[in-house]
C-alpha cells in the first residue's frame, strides 16, 4: 500500500511494538512471561503485516527487524574502543587464595583495609561478544577477536531474541557498550542436533562450537534459525552517562534496561565465600541449563578495580576459577608416529571415540617414547583420557586390570613413517628423530608452518590447512617459495577465491618487513626459541655477524651453552640453509637495525627464568617487561641464572633453582622488582 499511513495505523504499530518490547523484557530479563508464546507470535505477525502494508513505518528497533535479508560477502572489522580483555585462570584453591592475597595486599597499600567483596558468576563456555547502543538503540555487535579488533556481527546478534534492540527506562548513556557471552542452552542444542540428524544435515560437536559457528554465518537468516541465547556480564565503552559504583549494582541497572543477566550471579565477601560459591555451582553444574567450565570472581567495587589496574591483556581484579579436567575411559585402537618440524617423532594414540570435556576425542598425545614406556601404553589397552578446556587430550593412565592378553610394548620404528629415512635417538634424550631433514615431507610442511606463524613472520591468512595444500601440490617446498606465489595460481586451490588469493599475496609481501629476532626464530634452528633468538640478535647485531661466528663466539651470548651454540653454527654452515637465506633476502626480507646488547638498563646483566603461571600477566608480557629493563630471559636454569620467577604450579625449573641456590621470586616480589626497576 502506498501513501501516508493513517493515524490509527501509526498508533497501533507503536502500541504493538511497546507491547512486544515489554513481553520480551518480561520473558528474557525477568524470567517472568506475561503471555504465551502463541500470543506473542500472533502480535508479532500482526505488526509484521501492518509494516508490510506501510513500509515507511519500519524502524531499526522494531521486533520484526531481527533478521537481515541480504547475506554479507564477508565480515567487517570492528576496533574495540576499550579492549576486550581475557582473564587469567586458576586451577586450584591455592591459586585462587594467592589471587585474593594479591588483591588485598595491593588494596591495603592504597588504604583499603575492609574485606573484599567479589561478584561471582558461572564462566559460560560460549563466545564473548560486545553490543553497542546509541541513544538506547542497538547499533553494532562484534566478536572479541584478539581483544583489540573483532568481527562485525551486527546482523547476527540482532537475531538473538534475548538481546534487546531498544533499551528501557530513562537516564541511559548516549553510548553504551555491553559485553556478554552468546551460548546455546544444552536442551536446545540437543533438540537442534536431533532435528538436523532427522533432516540429514550436519550436527555440532558441542554447544560452544554450535554458538561460535552460528554467529559466524554470513547469512543472518541461518543464524536466526539457531537457538542462541546471551547473558550480559559487564560494560565496555560508555559516553555521556554514568554507571553505578559496583558490579552488583551495574548488573541490576543492566537488567532494568532490558538485558538478560545470569541468574546465578552473586555478591560474596572474602575468598572463603568465593570457594563456597565455586563448590555450590560445581555441585549443580550438570543441572544448569548451559555449559560452563568454571566460575569467575571480579572485585565488586569499581574504584578498587581502578586501583588494582591491569597487566598486559588481563585485569588484576578478576580471575577464572576452572573446574578440574574431565576424564573418560576408552580403548587404544592404534598408536602412530607424527613427524614434527625438527624431525621429532611423537607417538599419538588413536582412540575409540569418546566424549570428554565437551568434544569427541579420537586422538591423544603420548609425548615421547619415555612417556610411553613410563605409562606402558599398548594397543588394545583401556585408558583414562583427560581433557581440560582447549588443552590437547592426553592419556592419563592405563587400566592394567583390563589389559587383554597378547598385547606388546610399543617399539620405536627404525625408519621414518613418512619418508623412510633412518630414525635416531640419543640414549640421554627423550626424543627420537627422523634424519631426512627437508627431504621428509612432514618436516617440510612443519617448517613452513613455523616460519609463517604469528610469532615468527606472522603471515596473516596463511593457515595450516592451506600450507598443507600448497605443499601437497608441490607449489611450495620451502619458506622462500612463498614469495613466488601469485593470486591466479592460489585462486585455483580448494576453498580459495580470487579475493582471498589477492589478500593472501598482499599479506605475504607485507611480511617481508620483519625483525631480526623474528626471522631467527622463524628459521626453526633447533633449541632456538624466541628468547634465544632475541639474545642472538642483540649480541651480534647483524645476520652477517651471526653467520660468521664460530661455536666459541656464539657461546659468548648469555645463557647459550655448547649444545645450542653447536646447533646454531651447524645451521648456518649447512649449504641448503645458506641457500634458503639467500633466497629469502632476494625476495626482499628486511628489518630495521637492532640495538646490540650492552644497552643500559636497571636489570642489565641479569638473567631470568620464568616458570609456572603468573596470574597478573602472561608469560610473553613478563618476558617483554624484563627485556625492556635490560634483563635477559632464558628458557633453562643454569649456574648463570640470576633469578627464577615462580608462578603457580611451577615445576622442575623451580626445583633446579632451589638445588643450585638461585634466588626465587614469587609473583608479588617479581612485580615489586619490575616496579622499582621502572623508577630507576
pLDDT digits (tens, 9 = 90+) for 515-540: 999 999 999 999 898 878 988 998 89
Residue 547 has pLDDT above 60, yes or no: yes
Q: How far apart are alpha carbons 204 and 196 in whole angstroms?
A: 9
Most confident of 170-179, 206-215, 351-360, 614-623: 170-179
CB burial readout 518-546, b (16+ within 10 A) else e:
bbbbbbbbbbbebbbbbbbbbbbbebeeb
The DSSP-derived string for 430-483 is S-EEES-GGGSHHHHHHHHHHHHSTTTT--TT--HHHHHHHHHTTS-SSGGGGG
pLDDT of 26 reads 76
Total length of the chain = 680
Q: Is residue 410 within 8 Å of residue 347, measured between CB atoms?
A: yes
Strand extents, DSSP E, 125-246: 127-134, 137-143, 149-151, 175-183, 229-239
Average pLDDT, integer, range 493-516: 90
Question: Is the pLDDT higher at 210 or at 103?
Answer: 103
Pairing of the two strands 664-665 and 643-646: parallel
pLDDT band for 28, please (50, 70, 90 cuts): low
Cβ neighbour number for residue 121 with a 10 Å cutoff: 25
- Angstrom CA distances, 547 to 568, 577, 578, stand at 9, 11, 9
Average pLDDT, integer, range 6-17: 82
Catalytic residue set: 123
pLDDT of 60 reads 76
pLDDT of 367 reads 84
Three-state SS across 286-345? HHCCCCEEEEEEEECEHHHHHHHCEECCEECCEEEEECCCEEEEEEEEEEEEEECCCCEE
Average pLDDT, integer, range 117-124: 96
pLDDT band for 35, please (50, 70, 90 cuts): confident
pLDDT of 1 reads 47
Domains of the chain: 7-57 (1.10.287.610), 89-322 (3.30.470.30), 326-425 (2.40.50.140), 437-510 (1.10.150.20), 516-586 (1.10.150.20), 607-679 (3.40.50.10190)
pLDDT band for 597, please (50, 70, 90 cuts): low
Mean pLDDT score of the chain: 87
Q: How far apart are alpha carbons 337 and 330 in whole angstroms?
A: 20
Residues 6+ apart with CB under 8 A from 14: none
Pairing of the two strands 292-299 and 137-143: unpaired
Is the pTM value of this prediction over 0.85? Answer: no
Q: How far apart are alpha carbons 300 and 281 in whole angstroms?
A: 19
Q: Environment class of residue 105 by beta-carbon count within 10 Å: exposed (0-12), middle (13-18) or buried (19+)?
A: exposed
CA dihedral (149, 155, 157, 163) in degrees, to 10, reads 130
Q: What are residue 328's DSSP bridge partners?
A: 385
pLDDT digits (tens, 9 = 90+) for 276-334: 999 999 999 888 999 898 999 999 999 999 898 887 567 899 999 998 877 889 999 99
pLDDT digits (tens, 9 = 90+) for 632-650: 787 778 888 899 998 876 7
Q: How far apart are alpha carbons 257 and 458 in whole angstroms?
A: 43
Question: Is the pLDDT higher at 64 or at 107?
Answer: 107
Q: How far apart are alpha carbons 583 and 574 in whole angstroms?
A: 14
Instruction: Residue 180: name the closest of 241, 226, 138, 218 by CA.
Output: 138
Q: How far apart are alpha carbons 288 and 554 in whole angstroms?
A: 58
Cβ neighbour number for residue 623 with a 10 Å cutoff: 20
Q: Which position has the grid cell 553497542?
A: 132
Q: Which of 68-82, 108-122, 425-439, 583-597 has the lowest mean pLDDT?
A: 68-82
Which secondary structure element, helix H or strand E, spans residue 352, and what is its range?
Answer: strand 345-356
Q: For residue 541, what is its C-alpha cell?
A: 647485531
Which secondary structure element, helix H or strand E, spans residue 365, and what is its range?
Answer: strand 359-365
Cβ neighbour number for residue 351 with a 10 Å cutoff: 22
Q: Which position has the grid cell 563466545?
A: 127
Q: For residue 422, what is its C-alpha cell?
A: 633412518
Strand extents, DSSP E, 87-210: 89-90, 117-124, 127-134, 137-143, 149-151, 175-183
Q: Which of 26-30, 178-182, 587-591, 602-606 has the lowest mean pLDDT?
A: 26-30
Q: Is residue 181 within 8 Å of residue 119, measured between CB atoms?
A: no
Residue 382 has phi, psi (to 5 degrees) of: -90, 130
- Angstrom CA distances, 13 to 36, 48, 163, 249, 608, stand at 20, 9, 21, 34, 68
Which secondary structure element, helix H or strand E, spans residue 636, and what is its range?
Answer: none
pLDDT of 72 reads 63
pLDDT band for 577, please (50, 70, 90 cuts): very high
Longest C-alpha distance within the chain, in Å? Answer: 92
Q: How far apart are alpha carbons 219 and 466 in whole angstroms?
A: 25
Q: How far apart are alpha carbons 144 and 80 in whole angstroms?
A: 8
Average pLDDT, integer, range 62-83: 74
Q: How far apart are alpha carbons 295 and 570 in whole angstroms?
A: 50
Amino acid at each position: 500500500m502506498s501513501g501516508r499511513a493513517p493515524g490509527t495505523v501509526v498508533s497501533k504499530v507503536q502500541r504493538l511494538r511497546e507491547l512486544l518490547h515489554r513481553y520480551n523484557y518480561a520473558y528474557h530479563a525477568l524470567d517472568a512471561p506475561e503471555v504465551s508464546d502463541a500470543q506473542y507470535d500472533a502480535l508479532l505477525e500482526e505488526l509484521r503485516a501492518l509494516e508490510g502494508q506501510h513500509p515507511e513505518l519500519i524502524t531499526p528497533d522494531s521486533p520484526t527487524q531481527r533478521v537481515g535479508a541480504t547475506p554479507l560477502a564477508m565480515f567487517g572489522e570492528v576496533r574495540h574502543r576499550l579492549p576486550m580483555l581475557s582473564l587469567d585462570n586458576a586451577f586450584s584453591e591455592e591459586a585462587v587464595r594467592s589471587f585474593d592475597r594479591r588483591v588485598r595486599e595491593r588494596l591495603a597499600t592504597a588504604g583499603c583495609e575492609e574485606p573484599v567483596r567479589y561478584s561471582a558468576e558461572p564462566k559460560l563456555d560460549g563466545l564473548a561478544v560486545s553490543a553497542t547502543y546509541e541513544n538506547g538503540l542497538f547499533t553494532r555487535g562484534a566478536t572479541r577477536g584478539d581483544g583489540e579488533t573483532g568481527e562485525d556481527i551486527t546482523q547476527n546478534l540482532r537475531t538473538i531474541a534475548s538481546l534487546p534492540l531498544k533499551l528501557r527506562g530513562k537516564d541511559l548513556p548516549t553510548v553504551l557498550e555491553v559485553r556478554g557471552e552468546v551460548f546455546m542452552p544444552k536442551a536446545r542444542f540437543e533438540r537442534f542436533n536431533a532435528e538436523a540428524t532427522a533432516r540429514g544435515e550436519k550436527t555440532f560437536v558441542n554447544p560452544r562450537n554450535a554458538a561460535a559457528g552460528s554467529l559466524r554465518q554470513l547469512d543472518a537468516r541461518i543464524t536466526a534459525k539457531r537457538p542462541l541465547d546471551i547473558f550480559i556480564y559487564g560494560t565496555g565503552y560508555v559516553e555521556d552517562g554514568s554507571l553505578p559504583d559496583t558490579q552488583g549494582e551495574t548488573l541490576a541497572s543492566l537488567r532494568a534496561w532490558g538485558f538478560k543477566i545470569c541468574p546465578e550471579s552473586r555478591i560474596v565477601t572474602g575468598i572463603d565465600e568465593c570457594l563456597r560459591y565455586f563448590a555450590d555451582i560445581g555441585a549443580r553444574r550438570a543441572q544448569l541449563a548451559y555449559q560452563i567450565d568454571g566460575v569467575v570472581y571480579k572485585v565488586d567495587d569499581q574504584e578498587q578495580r581502578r586501583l588494582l589496574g591491569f597487566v598486559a591483556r588481563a585485569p588484576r581484579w578478576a580471575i577464572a576459577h576452572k573446574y578440574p579436567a574431565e576424564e573418560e575411559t576408552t580403548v587404544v585402537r592404534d598408536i602412530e608416529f607424527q613427524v614434527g618440524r625438527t624431525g621429532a617423532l611423537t607417538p599419538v594414540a588413536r582412540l575409540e571415540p569418546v566424549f570428554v570435556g565437551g568434544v569427541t576425542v579420537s586422538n591423544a598425545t603420548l609425548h615421547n617414547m619415555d612417556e610411553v614406556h613410563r605409562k606402558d601404553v599398548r594397543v588394545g589397552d583401556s585408558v583414562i583420557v583427560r581433557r581440560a578446556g582447549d588443552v590437547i587430550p592426553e592419556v592419563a593412565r592405563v587400566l592394567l586390570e583390563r589389559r587383554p592378553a597378547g598385547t606388546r610394548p610399543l617399539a620405536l620404528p627404525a625408519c621414518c613413517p613418512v619418508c623412510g629415512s633412518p630414525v635416531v635417538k640419543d640414549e640421554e634424550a627423550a626424543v627420537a628423530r627422523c634424519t631426512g631433514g627437508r627431504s621428509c615431507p612432514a618436516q617440510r610442511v612443519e617448517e613452513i608452518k613455523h616460519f609463517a606463524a604469528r610469532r615468527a613472520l606472522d603471515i596473516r591468512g596463511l593457515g595450516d590447512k592451506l600450507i598443507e595444500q600448497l605443499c601437497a601440490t608441490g607449489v611450495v617446498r620451502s619458506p622462500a617459495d612463498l614469495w613466488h606465489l601469485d593470486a591466479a595460481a592460489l585462486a585455483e586451490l580448494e576453498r580459495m577465491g580470487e579475493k582471498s588469493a589477492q589478500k593472501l599475496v598482499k599479506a605475504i609481501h607485507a611480511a617481508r618487513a620483519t625483525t631480526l629476532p623474528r626471522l631467527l626464530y622463524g628459521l626453526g634452528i633447533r633449541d632456538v626459541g624466541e628468547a634465544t633468538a632475541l639474545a642472538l640478535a642483540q649480541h651480534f647485531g647483524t645476520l652477517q655477524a651471526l653467520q660468521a661466528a664460530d661455536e666459541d663466539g656464539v657461546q659468548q651470548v648469555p645463557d647459550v651453552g655448547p649444545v645450542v651454540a653447536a646447533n646454531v653454527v651447524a645451521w648456518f654452515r649447512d649449504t641448503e640453509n645458506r641457500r634458503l637465506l639467500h633466497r629469502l633476502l632476494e625476495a626482499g626480507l628486511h628489518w630495521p637495525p637492532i640495538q646490540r646488547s650492552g644497552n643500559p638498563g636497571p636489570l642489565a646483566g641479569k638473567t631470568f627464568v620464568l616458570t609456572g603461571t603468573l596470574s597478573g600477566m602472561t608469560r610473553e608480557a613478563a618476558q617483554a617487561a624484563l627485556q625492556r629493563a635490560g634483563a635477559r630471559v632464558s628458557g633453562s636454569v643454569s649456574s648463570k641464572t640470576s633469578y627464577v620467577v615462580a608462578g603457580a604450579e611451577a615445576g622442575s625449573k623451580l626445583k633446579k633453582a632451589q638445588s643450585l641456590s638461585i634466588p626465587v621470586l614469587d609473583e608479588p616480589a617479581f612485580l615489586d622488582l619490575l616496579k622499582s626497576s621502572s623508577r630507576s
